[in-house]
């Protein structure tokens, strides 16, 4: 069987060596040595200023919305994982969808201003499959209208744009360290911020509002990463460059083996150093996609319709039709991509797709 993804795990001895300190200190959670060490190593590796590790990748979005969106309207993308929209609604904000760019698949920045009202407080955009939004234009729009910018960068660990980490853009960026991600801590995530005072608010917000053992400075929840999660992250981080390089080779092979007569792949934004976190292909029609998916499944290959459906169709939101997102979501399929996949398997998958589209 070839799944769409497979979690990378380091040699077990490496993980055991790291977690030994947990047994020595009997410190499992509440920001122990390993969480602090992981945050420091991420800062060094990515060249960023502020990072707070969290228990998962959704909590940072919720905290960002709580701090910046103020129960207002949040301009967002319909083409993302459901967590993006769900977090907006969960935090008593109103999602206002803006359609996507047909090639980059990120929010179409040229349509944002038309969606702004006197109730708009923030923009929450997704770097889709690690492909950056047009962050410079979004920054200009936000400054013009006094809006906050939050990026759902769940897929973007290791991505650079214009020579710096993608996490350096926006008021707050968030990331997922879920086991399916290129960098992971089993379950987990992080939030990133360059502003010191906002960073302090984020910090106490993720720890019940604590400013010390007995002092509280504001409202907070429990979003803390455990030491066991941090240990997994510390054991994975040294392999990041190797994992990206392997995925790059696999994506290059897909591009070589696939026939692009009836499908196309993602256009990566210029000035991007991509992390090859996913390999999506877009078919001419949904019927083609379904035929290919059925054929691959019959051969024990399991790609994923990611993202599907377009989020304006969720039953807890109200929105006009998002024609491009709706169309793309019905025709896009993420092909298997993970460290232990080999080139012969890529050729097999590609040949099956090519054959199916010819018939």
Beta carbons of 63 and 56 less than 8 angstroms apart? no
Give which of 58, 110, 57 is closest to 324, Cα–Cα. Answer: 110
Please report which helix (H) or strand (E) contains residue 18, including its range. Answer: helix 12-25
Quick check: 250 pLDDT over 90? Answer: yes
Cα 96 from Cα 17, distance rounded (Å): 48
Q: What is the pLDDT of residue 212?
A: 72
* Residue partners of 200: CB distance under 8 A and separation at least 6: none
* Per-residue pLDDT band at 211 (split at 50, 70, 90): confident
CB contact set of 31 (below 8 Å; sequence gap of 6+):
207, 224, 225
pTM of the model: 0.96
Phi and psi at 95, nearest 5°, equal -75, 130
DSSP string, 303-346: -B--S-S-GGG-TT------HHHHHHHHHEEEEP--TT--HHHH
User: What average pLDDT does the segment 241-262 reach?
Assistant: 98
Whole-angstrom Cα distance, residue 330 to residue 283? 9
Residue 172 has pLDDT above 80, yes or no: yes
Predicted confidence band of residue 213 (pLDDT cuts 50, 70, 90): confident
- Look up residue 12 and give its two tokens: 């077990």
Token pair, residue 120, equals 């708009």
What domains can be seen in the chain, in order of their start residue?
Answer: 12-238 (3.40.640.10), 239-358 (3.90.1150.10)
Question: Lowest-pLDDT range, 20-29, 120-129, 151-160, 333-342?
Answer: 20-29
Tokens of 279: 């390999």
CA angle 120, 126, 132 (to 5 degrees): 120
């Amino acid at each position: 069987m070839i799944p769409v993804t497979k979690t990378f795990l380091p040699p077990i001895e490496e993980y055991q060596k790291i977690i030994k300190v947990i047994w020595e200190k009997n410190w499992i959670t509440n920001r122990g040595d390993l969480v602090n060490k992981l945050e420091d190593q991420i800062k060094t590796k990515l060249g960023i200023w502020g990072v707070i590790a969290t228990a998962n990748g959704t909590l940072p979005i919720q905290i960002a919305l709580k701090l910046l969106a103020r129960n207002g309207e949040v301009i967002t993308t319909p083409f993302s994982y459901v967590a993006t929209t769900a977090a907006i609604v969960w935090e008593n904000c109103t999602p206002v969808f803006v359609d996507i760019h047909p090639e980059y698949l990120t929010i179409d920045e040229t349509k944002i201003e038309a969606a702004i009202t006197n109730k708009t407080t923030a923009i929450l955009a997704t770097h889709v499959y690690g492909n950056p939004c047009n962050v410079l234009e979004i920054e200009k729009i936000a400054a013009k209208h006094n809006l906050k910018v939050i990026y759902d960068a769940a897929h973007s660990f290791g991505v650079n744009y214009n020579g710096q980490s993608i996490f350096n853009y926006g008021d707050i960026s968030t990331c997922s360290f879920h086991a399916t991600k290129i960098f992971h801590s089993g379950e987990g995530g992080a939030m990133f911020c360059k502003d010191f005072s906002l960073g302090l608010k984020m910090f106490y917000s993720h720890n019940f509002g604590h400013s010390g053992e007995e002092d509280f400075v504001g409202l907070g929840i429990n979003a803390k990463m455990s030491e066991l999660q941090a240990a997994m992250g510390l054991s994975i981080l040294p392999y990041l460059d190797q994992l990206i390089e392997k995925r790059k080779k696999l994506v290059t092979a897909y591009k070589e083996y696939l026939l692009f007569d009836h499908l196309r792949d993602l256009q990566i934004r210029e000035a991007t150093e991509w992390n090859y976190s996913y390999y999506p292909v877009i078919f001419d029609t949904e019927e083609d996609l379904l035929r290919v998916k059925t054929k691959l499944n019959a051969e024990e290959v399991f790609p994923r319709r990611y993202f599907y459906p377009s989020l304006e169709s969720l039953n807890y939101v109200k929105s006009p039709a998002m024609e491009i997102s709706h169309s793309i979501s019905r025709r896009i399929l993420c092909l298997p991509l993970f460290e232990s996949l080999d080139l012969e398997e890529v050729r097999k998958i590609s040949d099956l797709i090519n054959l199916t589209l010819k018939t």
